[in-house]
Chains A and B, each alone.
Chain A
Amino acid sequence: MLGYIDKIREIAKGILENNKVDMVIGFRQGTVPMMNEPCIIKRPEDVDNLVWDGNCGINLANYLPGRTEKIGVIAKGCDSRNIVNHIIENKINREQLYIIGVPCKGMTDRHKLAALAAGEIVAVEESANSVMIKGADFENTFPKHDVMQQNCLKCTHRNPVIYDALAVDLADEQTDIDRYADVRQIEELSVEAKQQHFTDLFAACIRCYACRNACPLCYCPTCFVDESRPQWLGKGQDAIDIHTFHFLRAFHCAGRCTDCGACERACPVGINMRTLTKKLEKDCADLYNWEAGLTLDTRPPLDMYDVGDSDAFIK
């Protein structure tokens, strides 16, 4: 994925110069290792500020809803699927967008690297197959596969599904991936063990809502947690309120979630809330043979009713 940036800049410059777009949404170099900052580029001469590497895990589709400009947007496979969602859900028009597709080989897991490091990381060097981290008194190299975001390891849609230009030739998709081994493990637990699993999972939650706010699907003007009339749940640190937030948010993403991993990546306390969204993704696959964000032609299954819909869950 290194080396894509020259082509990205060239495309961005071209569409800005030709006034095809008013701005390009991409990433600029972060101020700390493993972090790039989403940014807007408005002038062709500024495209050199754009960067692309394994630290672009934030989903840029999140920055599109409600914008009225013509926008060039850089999109990995997952970002492009969320753009499809946005178009279907009328959050942005296809005609407004110039999608610079970037086939993706996976993003590095900043939480995992931070946990592996023997101190604060001051530099990260990425090569084709490995990632090296450096700190004040340590230096380690890991195979890329070992420090990749969990969702990227199981990704079967690395290539953008819609695009106006490609930064590089389409990549080979990963095959023979078992996407739901972790979900099945939880499904097999007893009710009590499941309860314990989720209690442990969310114990560290500080209700900062970084997961919700990093998620392109969570664009509700007023989220149900913020409603006061009626007030659906308490605002304190009660475990049941916290669980309710995560569960309901996941349900609201059912059939829409692309497993882009932005929620888990954004979480400051390292909670893997993706086990919830993946369970619903699995159910949508099982019940409706559905994967979110692959086509502009069909609305998500929970948006529609079909007489053939499964009703096996009604007991």
Chain B
Amino acid sequence: MQNPYLPYPVRIDEIITETEDKNLKTFKFVFLNPEDEEKFAYRAGQFAELSIAGKGEIPIGIASSPTEKGFVMFTVNKVGLVSTHLHAMQVGDIMGIRGPLGNSYPWDVVKGKNLVIIGGGFAFTTLRSSIIYLLDPQNRADYGNIDVIYGARTPGMLLYRDELAEWEARDDINMHITVDGTDDPDWKYNTGFVPTIADQKAPPGDDDTYAIICGPPIMIKFTQPVLDRNAYAHDHIIMSLENRMKCGVGMCGRCNIGREFVCKDGPVFTLAELNKTPKEY
């Protein structure tokens, strides 16, 4: 019997400080046992429990793409006991990863469709995974137009800035990067909140266009009316939720919204699905 609570041992291979407030760091992990990497086969939109012996576990979206081999990558915000300890760890330290967990974005459903990816703040991790996956030469032809609307408070709070610049330069993805405000005279992208930019830049909704949203509750709250106005059907709005989790496998009972568990039945739901559940997230 496979023990679903047993983490795979990993070594921290690289640590990147992502944002100017230093509260977000990206960790690249390498599996101690190479065969565990195969067992950890994942899809963009899934998450894993990062496990630190003596501290506990935290559920974090997988930021690397299934098309990237030899490591897995997570970007972690410093908020609680485990994430604070993780931020103090060093390259070479040993810890654990348990997963992959959750359902992922519905890649089979959105095949051949246009995608509008909307992200805000540090909730861009699984969206990065998705973009890398979509832009992979093996996959790009399987999808239609890709628009990305991504915002943060300031330029220095944007994640993965080098990659954002690379994507800006490509012609097979439409980037709409924005910040709430900046006094940087060299800022050459948008200024304004994500919902406003989404209203201006998102293509109109139709049967062949899906929106994928991941961001703080306030961004989601104001983006949803924008998508409604632009004729996105609720089953074409795909969202990734967060809730407090422990087990990650639908057993410990705390992350439910109605009868669905965010950890196992989600974290990805369509708005049409969420409309049928209590809003306990």
User: Residues of A at under 8 Å CB distance from B?
Assistant: 228-229, 231
Residues of A within 8 A of B84 (CB): 229
* Interchain CA distance A125-B81 in the complex, whole Å: 54
Interface residues of B in 112-130 (CB under 8 A from A): none
The reply to whether the CB of B80 lies closer than 8 angstroms to some CB of chain A is yes
Residues of A within 8 A of B81 (CB): 228-229, 231
Interface residues of B in 63-87 (CB under 8 A from A): 80-81, 84
Residues of B within 8 A of A231 (CB): 81
Residue of A nearest to B84 (CB): A229
Q: How far is the CB of B249 from chain A (nearest CB, A)?
A: 20
Give the dominant DSSP class at B's interface.
Answer: helix
Residues of B within 8 A of A228 (CB): 80-81
Number of interface residues of B (CB under 8 A): 3
Residue of B nearest to A230 (CB): B81
Residues of B within 8 A of A229 (CB): 80-81, 84
Q: How far is the CB of A153 from chain B (nearest CB, A)?
A: 42
* Interchain CA distance A229-B81 in the complex, whole Å: 6
Residue of B nearest to A231 (CB): B81
A-B contact pairs, 6 of them (CB 8 A): A228-B80, A228-B81, A229-B80, A229-B81, A229-B84, A231-B81
Q: Number of A-B pairs whose CB atoms are under 8 Å?
A: 6
* Interchain CA distance A231-B80 in the complex, whole Å: 12
* Interchain CA distance A228-B80 in the complex, whole Å: 9
Q: How far is the CB of A299 from chain B (nearest CB, A)?
A: 35
**Interface 1/0 per residue, B149-180 and A, CB below 8 Å:** 00000000000000000000000000000000
Residue of A nearest to B82 (CB): A228
* Interchain CA distance A229-B82 in the complex, whole Å: 10
Residue of B nearest to A229 (CB): B81
* Interchain CA distance A229-B84 in the complex, whole Å: 10
* Interchain CA distance A228-B84 in the complex, whole Å: 12
Residue of B nearest to A228 (CB): B81
**Interface 1/0 per residue, B73-116 and A, CB below 8 Å:** 00000001100100000000000000000000000000000000
Q: How far is the CB of A231 from chain B (nearest CB, A)?
A: 8
Q: How far is the CB of A226 from chain B (nearest CB, A)?
A: 13
Q: How far is the CB of A6 from chain B (nearest CB, A)?
A: 43
* Interchain CA distance A231-B84 in the complex, whole Å: 14
**Closest 6 A/B residue pairs (Cβ):** A228-B81, A229-B81, A228-B80, A229-B80, A231-B81, A229-B84
Q: How far is the CB of A132 from chain B (nearest CB, A)?
A: 43
Residues of A within 8 A of B80 (CB): 228-229
* Interchain CA distance A229-B80 in the complex, whole Å: 8
Q: How far is the CB of B81 from chain A (nearest CB, A)?
A: 5
Residue of A nearest to B56 (CB): A228
* Interchain CA distance A137-B44 in the complex, whole Å: 66
Q: How far is the CB of A124 from chain B (nearest CB, A)?
A: 36
* Interchain CA distance A216-B207 in the complex, whole Å: 57
* Interchain CA distance A244-B80 in the complex, whole Å: 24
Q: How far is the CB of B226 from chain A (nearest CB, A)?
A: 36
Q: How far is the CB of B104 from chain A (nearest CB, A)?
A: 30
* Interchain CA distance A229-B78 in the complex, whole Å: 13
* Interchain CA distance A218-B81 in the complex, whole Å: 25
Q: How far is the CB of B41 from chain A (nearest CB, A)?
A: 33
* Interchain CA distance A125-B266 in the complex, whole Å: 54
Q: How far is the CB of B80 from chain A (nearest CB, A)?
A: 7
* Interchain CA distance A93-B172 in the complex, whole Å: 64
* Interchain CA distance A231-B81 in the complex, whole Å: 10
* Interchain CA distance A245-B84 in the complex, whole Å: 26
* Interchain CA distance A228-B81 in the complex, whole Å: 7
Q: How far is the CB of A224 from chain B (nearest CB, A)?
A: 15
* Interchain CA distance A228-B79 in the complex, whole Å: 12
* Interchain CA distance A306-B81 in the complex, whole Å: 39
Q: How far is the CB of A229 from chain B (nearest CB, A)?
A: 5
Q: How far is the CB of A222 from chain B (nearest CB, A)?
A: 13
Q: How far is the CB of A257 from chain B (nearest CB, A)?
A: 32
Q: How far is the CB of A162 from chain B (nearest CB, A)?
A: 40
**Interface 1/0 per residue, B198-227 and A, CB below 8 Å:** 000000000000000000000000000000
* Interchain CA distance A295-B126 in the complex, whole Å: 59
Q: How far is the CB of B88 from chain A (nearest CB, A)?
A: 13
Q: How far is the CB of B79 from chain A (nearest CB, A)?
A: 10
Q: How far is the CB of A201 from chain B (nearest CB, A)?
A: 31
* Interchain CA distance A231-B56 in the complex, whole Å: 12
* Interchain CA distance A122-B80 in the complex, whole Å: 50
Q: How far is the CB of A176 from chain B (nearest CB, A)?
A: 53
Q: How far is the CB of A235 from chain B (nearest CB, A)?
A: 11
